[in-house]
Structure 1
Amino acid sequence: MDNWTAALLTGVACIVGYLVVWVKKINSLRQAEEKIKRARNRRDKSLQRAEQAVLRYKQSLPTTDSALILKLSLSELTQQLKDGSLNPDNVLYSYMEKTLAVNQKLNCCTEILLESLDQLTTVGSNKDGLLYGVPVSIKENIAFKDHDCSCGVIINLDQPAEKDSVLVQVLKKQGAIPFVKTNLAQALTSYDCSNPIYGQTVNPHNPQKTPGGSSGGEGALIGGGGSLLGIGTDLGGSIRLPSSFCGICGFKPTAHRLSLQGFRSICRGQKSVSSSPGPMARDVDSLALCMQALLCDHMFSLDPTVPPLPFNMEIYRSSRPLRIGYLENDGYLQPSPSMVRGVREVKALLEQAGHTLVPYAPLKISQIVPELLITGVYADGATTLLQKLKGALLDPSLKRQVFIHSLPKWFKKILSFLLKPVSPRLSSNVSAICGVRSVSDLWKQHAAVEDYIQETIAHWRSCNIDVLLSPMIGPASRLLHADKVSTAVSCTMLYNLLKFPAGVVTVSTVTAKDEEELKHYKGCYQDSFDKSLKEAMTGGEGLPVAVQCVALPWQDELCLRFMKEVEQLVKESKK
């Protein structure tokens, strides 16, 4: 065979190989598009059938005062359901109608759970349940029998859950009616709420802003009035951010206080930073009632790995004065002017109410973020995440993140070295996403997390504080800017690492003065992260402002009691 023939055959082989790869890619994209089309059809059919059901109900009972029902707090609603002045049919159809209207504006629902209409026929036998007749929304990654838990990732579509998650089973046992699944960030790894399957969810207060992520569908639906109680999940602020951005209350319990059985995650097996399911609602009493309902013998029986600790109502209702640590700036994330003002105003109210406020600062935060938080979440070098997203359509909010993760490890190490003199924070973060080198290094990382938890508890006790008042990231960032508020991990994911309970209470709104002061925002490092954060939060006048309340592990009731105190004092001050 002469050289020309060999070259020709080699060229033909290359062309054939290229064509095979190209055909495979085309087929993969076609299959993805077909999966998305089926998922959207399921959603559309559920919405249409729900609309028809609501219309039939309104025609049969035109006197139902839906507006009055929607105004009731959860405690008022449960009382009227129990005493019979309202029935579950009135309530479910009122909320379903409102949800359909909110979804048209915000695109926050992935599917109406039509089984809820059938549940109306059996729920009457469970009037003793703490949530009897209460419609509840659930995040899309929570298993509900015969429905997908995609996490916004195409590879997970067409895999309906075989049974309800433990928390859904407990909600039903307590008389609640799960009636809608809500949208989330693709792969649960963004502070936005968008994915290629169900699209972009927008903020109920401003459609140019994100509702936050990853539980953004819950935040938007509750903030828009379409639900009064929902269940989200939180790995790095995914309950607390949407609660802050949408002007509601949200609670991340102590890790493992509530069952995670039947909750789908993207990086299952990651142990350094703990995910927690938790409630989202309009007020703190609703969060407490939900926790009380979930922390029951039925959950402890279904999932024996959860410690059998019922909700301690005595602690929640306590009125003893507290020693409260307060934090304005952790040295990693400089809060926006509205965040600082929120903390200062609440601090003043707490002091006037007789509580003692003492300064507090988290330990070694600039070191902890890259070494424990980022390395912990991406210990595998993001391999698992990339496998889930391989060949899939990517949401715009993930493209930059996926591109960086996809770079060879050797290149990221060189990039980190070159960035060190000009951007130390970016350099350490790029190095951190390379992950760990060996199982031995992973064990060392886990040991370092355990040591940091103990050091933090010792520091907390040396300050002699009961709870902590901390800034909460806000206001809501602009759409497609969620990746620009990644420095928020220092004020949210920190408490997932520590396994501390943490909750968010809305206390104010952004003022014109806050906006003016934001123009002079510099940040702790004055780097690209700080510039991006300023850009993302600009234009927030009138949007909600929240604070974060934190307690030690297993002191969830004390954390909620502190949140309730903040909520009441803010309400009284507005009067």
Structure 2
Amino acid sequence: MEAAAQRFREQHPSVNTVSILSLPLPELSRKLRAGSLPPDHVFYAYVGKALQIATETNCITEFLQESETQLHRAKLMEKQGLLYGVPVSIKDSIDCQGHDSTLGFIKNLNKPAAEDSVVVQVLKRQGAIPFVKTNVPQSLISYDCKNLIFGQTCNPLLYTRTPGGSSGGEGALLGGGGSILGIGTDVGGSLRFPAAFCGICAIKPTGNRLSKRGVMAGVVGQKAVAAAVGPLAKDVESLALCLRALLSEDMFSLDSTVPPLPFNEEVYSSTKPLRIGYYETDFFTMPSPAMRRAVRETKQLLEEAGHTLVPFELTNVDYVIFNYCVRGMFADGGSSFVRKFKGELEKGGAGIFFWLAKAPHWLKTLLSWISKPFVPRFSSIMRSMKENTVDEVWGLHHEIQDFCHQFIAQWKKLNLDVMLCPMLGPALGIGYPGKLSVAVSYTMLYNALDFPAGVVPVTLVTDEDEEQLKDYKGYYQDWWDRTLVKAFRGGVGMPVAVQCVALPWQEELCLRFMKEVETLSLKKNSFL
């Protein structure tokens, strides 16, 4: 990368990379397609910047050297796709032909993918140039970003904080300005954590809206918690442009299991007032003062803009987390998860799940019973990590389906269009996510429901928020609550996001709502 960037600088000393890097994606894309900006100027501007951010945060695992060849081919392309000449970063777990998808495991090194994943194939057909792969936590089942091969990735806004995970390398690279568009995955918040922690935007679509062919999973084959592929970018308009490009004939012909639903422009560009449900807490993970304030302020801005805000009562989130998410993802008692780590455990990343998965069934039962009066959440996790019979797994899937229909019925009874929800923040200190697996409740709910959900940064942590952390107790006042408040501390000036949610297959409505939130927040913050 260094050699490529240096070579370009020597050959084109007058190119103003700063002005190129400051262009938002829609404008950059227009200039590239109009021919007023040469693709090689854009490509090498981002190669240089990505290299700088990688040096600071350790977010890149590999430079895709064939991207330079692809760049020259792009210049000769007759049909220019929507992402013509746009450099795109790709998460480690998404297959790129000739490159490893390691998932942070040494055993997966030197096993290059035979072909591009469908999403990468579509990006290329749309003229995009995948140029780097980015770091992940070992196994992907973590919202930190560390493994034995590439080490720890840091948050570009504050190096002592995690960039989130499992698309953490993407979050760090985009948050630092080293990429303009990234592709990641999400099975419990893995797109939304990095976006929220690094001050950018992301959307987790409905699980099957974008193809997952050629995308490696942390826990293969489980159906209880829906995984999704989605984009990360600096703003909502960029996410919309990416989905327009991906939801093309190419996607549907390359993977016929994906529903042929092109991007609905009418829904995205609609201006009619929305009816928006909202809640400040899920009564499982107590929100930080900044999280609560982010929801309240956004609610007020939306009401002032003419939208209707309706309180939504969340119930039984603890049951959803333990019985659907934990039990669903580790329905085999965690044995397949443990096998992956054989001989190469990165201490701390997978946290409690690894140690519990290894424990024999009798020990889990005993510990669950003993610990219930003192640490009820720990007890519930142990109880949820038992090995299930086929009959029990089928029963679980049926129960999740019922829960989803009940949730939708509650949504429709209130006649909602979309929902405004909290998003965990600010970014936790490095190492804390492994100790705080329970704090995924705000995001993982929408993987269990398989609803599209996006995050938009709306505010920064203030001194007052930090001061109010002194009163933070948590709902259980257990070890996890005491640890979470420590993880939140020291975040003054860090971004805090809100989550925007829509019903299944309504990604365009979700984006339209995100755009509204983004516009109102930017307007408010520019007046401060």
TM-score by length of 2: 0.98
1:369 aligns with 2:321: yes
The counterpart of 1:264, out of the listed 216, 219, 235, is 216
Find the counterpart in structure 2 of residue 222 from structure 1. 174
Residues 326, 358 of structure 1: 8 Å contact kept: yes
Q: Following the alignment from structure 1 to structure 2, what is the Cα–Cα distance between the partners of residues 523 and 484?
A: 16
Find the counterpart in structure 2 of residue 571 from structure 1. 522
Specify the code of the residue in structure 1 equivalent to 2:435.
K
Structure exhibiting the larger radius of gyration computed from Cα positions: 1
Q: Following the alignment from structure 1 to structure 2, what is the Cα–Cα distance between the partners of residues 315 and 524?
A: 39
C-alpha distance 331-538 of structure 1, shift in aligned 2 (>3 A): same
Residues 82, 127 of structure 1: 8 Å contact kept: no
SS of 1:63's equivalent in the other structure is coil
SS of 1:418's equivalent in the other structure is helix
Find the counterpart in structure 1 of residue 342 from structure 2. 390
The counterpart of 1:519, out of the listed 470, 473, 488, is 470
Find the counterpart in structure 2 of residue 91 from structure 1. 42
Specify the code of the residue in structure 2 equivalent to 1:476.
A
Q: Following the alignment from structure 1 to structure 2, what is the Cα–Cα distance between the partners of residues 126 and 388?
A: 45
Q: Following the alignment from structure 1 to structure 2, what is the Cα–Cα distance between the partners of residues 159 and 328?
A: 45
Find the counterpart in structure 1 of residue 11 from structure 2. 60
Q: CA deviation at 1:422?
A: 1.3
* Deviations 1:386-428 (CA, angstroms, capped at 9, x unpaired): 1111111424323543222211111011000011111222211
Residues 278, 421 of structure 2: 8 Å contact kept: yes
Q: Following the alignment from structure 2 to structure 1, what is the Cα–Cα distance between the partners of residues 331 and 350?
A: 19
Q: Following the alignment from structure 1 to structure 2, what is the Cα–Cα distance between the partners of residues 212 and 266?
A: 16
The counterpart of 2:460, out of the listed 509, 519, 522, is 509
Q: Following the alignment from structure 1 to structure 2, what is the Cα–Cα distance between the partners of residues 59 and 367?
A: 60
SS of 2:455's equivalent in the other structure is strand
Q: CA deviation at 1:127?
A: 4.7
Find the counterpart in structure 1 of residue 433 from structure 2. 482
SS of 2:350's equivalent in the other structure is helix
Find the counterpart in structure 2 of residue 231 from structure 1. 183
Residues 99, 227 of structure 1: 8 Å contact kept: yes
Q: CA deviation at 1:361?
A: 2.0
Residues 186, 395 of structure 1: 8 Å contact kept: no
Residues 230, 280 of structure 1: 8 Å contact kept: yes
Q: Following the alignment from structure 1 to structure 2, what is the Cα–Cα distance between the partners of residues 235 and 435?
A: 21
* Deviations 1:328-384 (CA, angstroms, capped at 9, x unpaired): 011111100000000000000000000000100234212221111110111111111
Q: CA deviation at 1:157?
A: 1.6
Residues 136, 147 of structure 2: 8 Å contact kept: yes
* Deviations 1:452-498 (CA, angstroms, capped at 9, x unpaired): 11111111111211100000000011111112332232210110110
SS of 1:397's equivalent in the other structure is coil
SS of 2:139's equivalent in the other structure is helix
Q: CA deviation at 1:231?
A: 0.2
Specify the code of the residue in structure 1 equivalent to 2:485.
K
Residues 351, 437 of structure 2: 8 Å contact kept: no
Larger mean Cα displacement after TM superposition, 53-62 or 339-348: 53-62
Specify the code of the residue in structure 1 equivalent to 2:386.
C
Q: Following the alignment from structure 2 to structure 1, what is the Cα–Cα distance between the partners of residues 362 and 323?
A: 18
1:155 aligns with 2:107: yes
Specify the code of the residue in structure 1 equivalent to 2:204.
K
SS of 1:231's equivalent in the other structure is strand
Alignment of 1:70-89 (within 5 A): 70-89=21-40
Find the counterpart in structure 2 of residue 533 from structure 1. 484
Find the counterpart in structure 1 of residue 233 from structure 2. 281
Query: CA RMSD for the aligned pairs?
Result: 1.0
How many residue pairs get aligned? The number is 525
Q: CA deviation at 1:94?
A: 0.4
1:380 aligns with 2:332: yes
Specify the code of the residue in structure 1 equivalent to 2:86.
V
Q: Following the alignment from structure 2 to structure 1, what is the Cα–Cα distance between the partners of residues 375 and 217?
A: 32
Q: Following the alignment from structure 2 to structure 1, what is the Cα–Cα distance between the partners of residues 351 and 331?
A: 20
Residues 137, 145 of structure 2: 8 Å contact kept: yes
Residues 315, 558 of structure 1: 8 Å contact kept: yes
Larger mean Cα displacement after TM superposition, 364-373 or 238-247: 364-373
Find the counterpart in structure 2 of residue 298 from structure 1. 250
The counterpart of 2:306, out of the listed 347, 351, 354, is 354
Residues 273, 308 of structure 2: 8 Å contact kept: yes
Q: Following the alignment from structure 2 to structure 1, what is the Cα–Cα distance between the partners of residues 316 and 180?
A: 39
Residues 89, 183 of structure 2: 8 Å contact kept: yes
Q: Following the alignment from structure 2 to structure 1, what is the Cα–Cα distance between the partners of residues 387 and 413?
A: 33
Residues 503, 548 of structure 1: 8 Å contact kept: yes
Q: CA deviation at 1:447?
A: 0.5
1:561 aligns with 2:512: yes
Q: Following the alignment from structure 1 to structure 2, what is the Cα–Cα distance between the partners of residues 449 and 256?
A: 17
SS of 1:492's equivalent in the other structure is helix
Alignment of 1:427-466 (within 5 A): 427-436=379-388, 438-466=389-417
C-alpha distance 74-366 of structure 1, shift in aligned 2 (>3 A): same
Q: CA deviation at 1:100?
A: 0.4
1:130 aligns with 2:82: yes
Find the counterpart in structure 2 of residue 23 from structure 1. none
Identity of aligned residues (%): 53
Specify the code of the residue in structure 2 equivalent to 1:370.
F
Specify the code of the residue in structure 2 equivalent to 1:565.
E
Q: Following the alignment from structure 1 to structure 2, what is the Cα–Cα distance between the partners of residues 127 and 535?
A: 53
Q: Which segments of structure 1 move beyond 3 Å, counting only runs of 4 or more?
A: none
TM-score by length of 1: 0.90
Q: Following the alignment from structure 1 to structure 2, what is the Cα–Cα distance between the partners of residues 192 and 297?
A: 36
Alignment of 1:409-420 (within 5 A): 409-420=361-372
Q: Following the alignment from structure 2 to structure 1, what is the Cα–Cα distance between the partners of residues 319 and 95?
A: 37
Q: CA deviation at 1:156?
A: 1.6
1:548 aligns with 2:490: no
Residues 363, 456 of structure 1: 8 Å contact kept: no
Q: Following the alignment from structure 1 to structure 2, what is the Cα–Cα distance between the partners of residues 382 and 193?
A: 21
Q: Following the alignment from structure 1 to structure 2, what is the Cα–Cα distance between the partners of residues 424 and 393?
A: 27
C-alpha distance 126-419 of structure 1, shift in aligned 2 (>3 A): farther
C-alpha distance 219-372 of structure 1, shift in aligned 2 (>3 A): same
Find the counterpart in structure 2 of residue 202 from structure 1. 154
Find the counterpart in structure 2 of residue 9 from structure 1. none
Structure holding more helix per residue: 1
Q: Following the alignment from structure 2 to structure 1, what is the Cα–Cα distance between the partners of residues 61 and 319?
A: 39
Find the counterpart in structure 2 of residue 345 from structure 1. 297
Residues 194, 395 of structure 1: 8 Å contact kept: no
Q: Following the alignment from structure 2 to structure 1, what is the Cα–Cα distance between the partners of residues 352 and 273?
A: 48
Q: Following the alignment from structure 1 to structure 2, what is the Cα–Cα distance between the partners of residues 414 and 313?
A: 55
Residues 484, 536 of structure 1: 8 Å contact kept: no
Find the counterpart in structure 1 of residue 124 from structure 2. 172
Q: Following the alignment from structure 1 to structure 2, what is the Cα–Cα distance between the partners of residues 52 and 122?
A: 20
Q: Following the alignment from structure 2 to structure 1, what is the Cα–Cα distance between the partners of residues 356 and 188?
A: 20
SS of 2:40's equivalent in the other structure is helix
Alignment of 1:329-340 (within 5 A): 329-340=281-292
